[in-house]
C-alpha cells in the first residue's frame, strides 16, 4: 500500500484532510486551528511531496518528518500534522479491520463520560441549560461564568458576579454533578488570584485557562497559587515539550490537549503518558464536531487517566453533516466505537461552509476605553 493522493479542503472555519491509497482505502482527519484554516491547508499542501508514494503505516516516521521539515513551530504547523496523523491512524485501523483504540493497547473502559459545553451566559440562562443537560443524562457541564463586560468591572464586582453565576449553576444541578469552569484566558494573574478561591468554594471539578497562554511559566504560577482548587490548562499548547514544562513547574492537575492541534493521536497519547507520570488527568479539548470527537474517544478509551470528554451541542447538530460518526450519544455518554479506523465517514463533496466557532475572527472584546480586552 502507498499513498496516492492527499486531499486538503477548507469549509468555512473547518479544515479537513483525506489520505488516499493504492488499495482504495481512505483515511480522514481534521485540524483544530480554527482561526487560520487556510494557513493549515497551505502547510498540508507543503506536506504532499513527502507523503505521495510513501507507506502510510509508518505513522511515527511521518510525524517526525513533517514536524521537522522546516525550522518553524506553532499551532498552524501542529494542526496540519494533526490532520495527517489522524488520517494515517484511520487508515491503519481500516487496513487491519480494527478500531484505532485497539491499536493503542485496547480499551480500559466500557463507555465514555461526556461533559456538555453550555453556550449560554448569565446566571439564569446557564442554570436553566445546566438543569436541562442533567435531565438529558449528563453528569458534568462546562460553562463560562464571567460577565459579558468583565473587562470594565471593578475587581470586587467581577468576583462577586462570577461567583453568583457559578452558585446559580451549582444550585440548579446539585452536588452530584461536576462543574467545569472555563475562564477563556480573560483574566490577569492578579484577577485570577482573587477569582479562583471564590469559585472554588462551589467545588468545581476544575477551573480552566484563567490567564492568557503567552507564558507556560505564568500559567503554572497561577496554578501554584490556586490554594487547592483543581486547575486545567493546555487547549492551546501544541507539544509534549510545552506540557512537560507546564507539569514540571507545578501547573495543571488536568491537561487539555486538542487532538486536532497537539499532533494528533500519535502525540496526544505521549502527552497523556507524560501527564500520568505526574498523576495528572486528561480532559482533551474538543469543540469542532464529530470527527475530532471520535478521534478523542479512541484516546479516551485506551488511557487510564481519562476523566471526562468535552462534548459540544455542535456534535448533535452535525450528526448528519459532512463528518458522520458510527456511534451516537446516549445521554451523557458515548458508546465505545467498534468500526475499523476512527469510525467516521467524511463527505468532502459538500462545499457548504461550516461555522464551527460562531464568530468572525476579528470580533473580539474591547474595553470601554477602546483597548483589547484579551491583551492582559
* Domain boundaries of the chain, sorted by first residue: 3-99, 101-346
Residue whose C-alpha is closest to residue 31's, from 41, 42, 21, 22:
41
Average pLDDT for 35-63: 98
Parallel/antiparallel/unpaired status of strands 178-182 and 206-208: parallel
Whole-number pLDDT of residue 364: 87
Residue 312 pLDDT > 70: yes
Percentage of residues of the chain with pLDDT beyond 90:
93
Task: Assess whether 62 carries a catalytic annotation.
Answer: no
Whole-number pLDDT of residue 166: 98
Asked if 26 contacts 4 with a C-beta cutoff of 8 angstroms, the reply is no
Q: Find the catalytic residue in 184, 203, 267, 279.
A: 184
3-state secondary structure of 100: helix
Task: Assess whether 184 carries a catalytic annotation.
Answer: yes
Average pLDDT for 134-160: 96
Cell numbers placing 325: 460518526
3-state secondary structure of 89: helix
Cell numbers placing 196: 479562583
Cell numbers placing 77: 504547523
Cβ-Cβ contacts under 8 Å for 358 (sequence gap 6 or more): none
Whole-number pLDDT of residue 117: 98
User: For residues 273 and 275, what is the distance between their CA atoms, to the nearest angstrom?
Assistant: 5
Residue 376 pLDDT > 70: no
Q: What is the CATH number of domain 3-99?
A: 3.30.390.10
Cell numbers placing 338: 467498534
User: Residue 358: which pLDDT band, with cuts at 50, 70 and 90?
Assistant: confident
User: For residues 145 and 266, what is the distance between their CA atoms, to the nearest angstrom?
Assistant: 34
> Lowest-pLDDT range, 37-41, 216-220, 328-332?
216-220
Whole-number pLDDT of residue 201: 96
Residue 311 pLDDT > 70: yes
Percentage of residues of the chain with pLDDT beyond 70:
99
State pTM to two decimals.
0.96
Average pLDDT for 176-204: 96
User: For residues 86 and 109, what is the distance between their CA atoms, to the nearest angstrom?
Assistant: 22
Cβ-Cβ contacts under 8 Å for 315 (sequence gap 6 or more): 289, 290, 293, 325, 329
Q: Find the catalytic residue in 285, 298, 363, 366.
A: 285
Cell numbers placing 349: 463533496
Which DSSP state fits 28? Answer: E
DSSP H helices in the chain: 37-51, 59-68, 75-96, 100-103, 123-135, 155-173, 189-200, 216-224, 240-248, 264-277, 290-302, 313-317
Whole-number pLDDT of residue 270: 98
Residue whose C-alpha is closest to residue 115's, from 174, 165, 181, 166:
181
User: Residue 375: which pLDDT band, with cuts at 50, 70 and 90?
Assistant: low
HSE (CB half, 13 Å, CA atoms) of 288?
26
> For residue range 72-125, what is the model confidence (pLDDT) as tens digits?
999 999 999 999 999 999 999 999 999 999 999 999 999 999 999 999 899 999
Whole-number pLDDT of residue 373: 87
Fold observed for domain 101-346: TIM Barrel (3.20.20)
Whole-number pLDDT of residue 140: 98
Q: To the nearest whole number, what is the mean pLDDT of the chain?
A: 96
* DSSP for 265-305, written as a single string: HHHHHHHHHHHHHTT-EE--B--S-HHHHHHHHHHHHH-TT
Average pLDDT for 311-324: 94
> For residue range 270-298, what is the model confidence (pLDDT) as tens digits?
999 999 999 999 999 999 999 999 999 99
Amino acid at each position: 500500500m502507498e499513498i496516492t493522493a492527499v486531499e486538503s479542503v477548507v469549509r468555512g472555519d473547518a479544515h479537513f484532510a483525506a489520505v488516499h491509497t493504492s488499495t482504495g482505502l481512505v483515511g480522514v482527519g481534521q485540524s483544530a486551528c480554527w482561526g487560520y484554516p487556510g494557513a493549515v491547508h497551505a502547510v498540508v499542501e507543503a506536506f504532499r511531496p513527502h507523503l505521495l508514494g510513501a507507506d502510510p503505516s509508518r505513522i511515527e516516521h511521518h510525524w517526525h518528518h513533517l514536524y521537522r521539515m522546516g525550522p518553524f513551530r506553532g499551532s498552524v504547523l501542529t494542526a496540519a500534522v494533526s490532520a495527517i496523523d489522524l488520517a494515517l491512524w484511520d487508515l491503519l485501523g481500516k487496513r487491519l479491520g480494527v478500531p484505532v483504540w485497539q491499536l493503542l493497547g485496547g480499551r480500559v473502559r466500557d463507555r465514555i463520560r461526556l461533559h456538555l459545553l453550555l453556550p449560554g451566559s448569565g446566571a439564569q440562562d446557564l442554570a436553566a441549560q445546566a438543569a436541562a443537560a442533567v435531565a438529558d443524562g449528563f453528569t458534568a457541564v462546562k460553562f463560562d461564568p464571567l460577565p459579558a463586560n468583565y473587562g470594565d468591572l471593578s475587581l470586587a464586582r467581577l468576583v462577586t458576579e462570577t461567583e453568583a453565576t457559578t452558585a446559580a449553576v451549582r444550585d440548579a444541578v446539585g452536588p452530584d454533578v461536576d462543574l467545569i469552569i472555563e475562564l477563556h484566558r480573560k483574566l490577569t494573574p492578579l484577577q485570577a488570584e482573587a477569582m479562583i478561591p471564590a469559585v472554588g468554594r462551589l467545588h468545581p471539578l476544575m477551573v480552566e485557562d484563567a490567564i492568557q497562554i503567552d507564558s507556560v511559566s505564568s500559567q503554572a504560577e497561577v496554578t501554584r497559587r490556586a490554594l487547592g482548587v483543581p486547575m486545567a490548562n493546555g487547549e492551546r499548547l501544541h507539544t509534549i515539550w510545552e506540557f512537560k514544562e507546564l507539569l514540571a513547574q507545578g501547573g495543571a492537575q488536568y491537561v487539555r490537549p486538542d487532538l486536532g492541534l497537539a499532533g494528533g493521536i500519535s502525540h496526544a497519547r505521549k502527552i497523556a503518558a507524560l501527564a500520568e507520570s505526574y498523576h495528572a488527568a486528561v480532559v482533551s479539548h474538543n469543540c469542532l464536531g464529530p470527527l475530532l470527537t471520535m478521534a478523542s474517544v479512541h484516546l479516551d478509551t485506551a488511557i487510564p487517566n481519562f476523566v471526562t470528554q468535552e462534548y459540544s451541542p455542535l456534535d448533535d447538530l452535525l450528526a448528519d453533516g459532512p463528518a458522520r460518526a458510527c456511534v451516537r450519544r446516549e445521554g451523557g455518554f458515548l458508546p465505545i466505537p467498534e468500526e475499523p479506523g476512527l469510525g467516521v465517514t467524511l463527505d468532502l463533496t459538500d462545499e457548504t461552509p461550516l461555522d464551527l466557532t460562531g464568530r468572525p475572527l476579528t470580533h473580539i472584546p474591547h474595553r470601554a476605553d477602546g483597548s483589547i480586552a484579551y491583551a492582559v
